[in-house]
């Protein structure tokens, strides 16, 4: 039996917008023996992001409509039919791709369907997570806990999810509401979710969101609006009924 037959098919989706200086490092550090396909979604980059990705033999998807969620959706649309677990990873080398096994383990052991890489629980390089981002995460996770009773500590972008679970979440957001939408819906639908501590370092390349006033305000408003929307409207019966399994949350013990 090959190694591939012994475990589920794992796909990595990397949304990338003008990350030519970072994307090569990200691709080089992915533990390939654990991964079956790597999809880089080039979100209308004007630099050599696509070229670098192709040179590292990633599967390249071009999505001209801008937005983080839009890029993630395009990556999901391009998944191989065999894909069973999807890992989302930023292209700016803030996350450490070598920590991917920590996200996969709880799913492989069937302890979780969704694993969020928590930068709050893990080691952060000084200055990697701007104070406004930390505040926004704290507020958003506080609201999720108060409204839905599920205690996340972060809305980190580095995360793994079973593909069938992802289908059931029926993701809609086209930009920076994507991460919170996934967690809110997971809480409402009783998806078995865990957090794993992940490290976070200063990005390579110029900050586009958390380092700019416009980006921070835009993302902050979007995240709060997303929480408000699902609080008021709830979710349709996408896969499971909310009452079918109570929201449960465990945290991976910190190493
Ligand atoms: N900003 C931005 N990033 C995008 C877009 N589409 C894909 N991305 C990628 O989405 C990931 C997250 O975006 P980042 O700009 O790193 O957002 P952030 O981590 O909140 O903030 P900074 O790292 O400070 O810019 C990166 O890999 C981007 O290259 C887009 O339309 N805008
Ligand atoms: Mg970043």
CATH number at residue 214: 3.90.550.10
Question: Which position has the token pair 């997971």?
Answer: 186
Q: Rounded to 5 degrees, what are φ and ψ at 44?
A: 75, 30
Say if residue 251 is exposed, middle or buried (CB neighbours under 10 Å; 0-12, 13-18, 19+). Answer: middle
* Pocket of ligand 1 contains residue 71 by CB under 6 Å: yes
On the CB side of 137, CA atoms within 13 Å amount to 18
Cα 94 to middle of ligand 2, angstroms:
6
Cα 91 to middle of ligand 1, angstroms:
8
Residue 19 within any structural domain of the chain: yes
For residues 142, 145, 147, 149, the Cα torsion angle rounded to the nearest 10 degrees is -170
Residue 189 within any structural domain of the chain: yes
pLDDT of residue 250: 46
Distance from C-alpha of 11 to C-alpha of 85, rounded to nearest angstrom: 6
Residue 255 within any structural domain of the chain: no
Over 90: is that where the pLDDT of 200 sits?
Answer: yes
Going by the DSSP 8-state scheme, the letter that residue 203 receives in this structure is P
pTM of the model: 0.92
* Pocket of ligand 1 contains residue 67 by CB under 6 Å: yes
Over 60: is that where the pLDDT of 2 sits?
Answer: no
For the chain, what is the domain count? Answer: 1
Cα 3 to middle of ligand 1, angstroms:
34
Q: What's the alpha-carbon Rg for the chain, to the nearest Å?
A: 17
Cα 70 to middle of ligand 2, angstroms:
16
pLDDT tens string 116-172: 999 999 999 999 999 999 999 999 999 999 999 999 999 999 999 999 999 999 999
Strands 37-42 and 10-16: parallel
Residue 100 within any structural domain of the chain: yes
Say if residue 234 is exposed, middle or buried (CB neighbours under 10 Å; 0-12, 13-18, 19+). Answer: exposed
pLDDT of residue 5: 63
Residue 246 within any structural domain of the chain: no
Residue nearest to atom 23 of ligand 1 (CA): 207
* Pocket of ligand 1 contains residue 66 by CB under 6 Å: yes
Over 60: is that where the pLDDT of 237 sits?
Answer: no
Tell me which H or E stretch contains 12: strand 10-16
Supply the range of the domain harboring residue 147: 3-239
Residue 245 within any structural domain of the chain: no
* Pocket of ligand 1 contains residue 205 by CB under 6 Å: no
* Pocket of ligand 1 contains residue 63 by CB under 6 Å: no
Residue 62 within any structural domain of the chain: yes
Say if residue 56 is exposed, middle or buried (CB neighbours under 10 Å; 0-12, 13-18, 19+). Answer: middle
pLDDT of residue 125: 95
Residue 252 within any structural domain of the chain: no
């Amino acid at each position: 039996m090959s190694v591939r037959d012994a475990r589920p098919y794992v796909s990595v989706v990397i949304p990338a917008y003008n990350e030519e200086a970072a994307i090569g490092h990200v691709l080089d550090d992915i533990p390939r023996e654990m991964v079956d396909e790597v999809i880089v979604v080039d979100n209308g980059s004007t630099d050599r992001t696509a070229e670098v990705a192709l040179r590292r033999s990633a599967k390249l998807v071009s999505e001209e409509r801008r937005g983080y969620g839009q890029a993630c959706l395009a990556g999901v649309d391009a998944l191989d039919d065999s894909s069973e677990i999807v890992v989302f990873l930023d292209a700016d080398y803030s996350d450490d791709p070598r920590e991917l096994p920590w996200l996969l383990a709880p799913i492989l052991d069937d302890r979780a369907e969704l694993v969020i890489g928590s930068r709050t629980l893990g080691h952060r390089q000084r200055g990697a997570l701007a104070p406004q981002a930390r505040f926004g995460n704290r507020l958003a996770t506080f609201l999720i806990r108060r409204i839905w009773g599920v205690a996340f500590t972060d809305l980190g972008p580095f995360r793994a999810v079973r593909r069938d679970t992802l289908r059931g979440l029926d993701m809609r957001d086209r930009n920076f509401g994507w991460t919170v939408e996934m967690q809110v819906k997971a809480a409402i639908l009783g998806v078995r979710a865990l957090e794993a501590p992940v490290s976070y370092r200063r990005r390579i390349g110029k900050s586009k969101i958390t380092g700019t006033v416009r980006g921070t305000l835009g993302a902050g408003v979007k995240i709060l609006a997303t929480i408000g929307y699902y609080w008021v409207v709830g979710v349709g019966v996408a896969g499971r009924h909310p009452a079918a399994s109570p929201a449960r949350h465990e945290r991976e013990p910190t190493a």
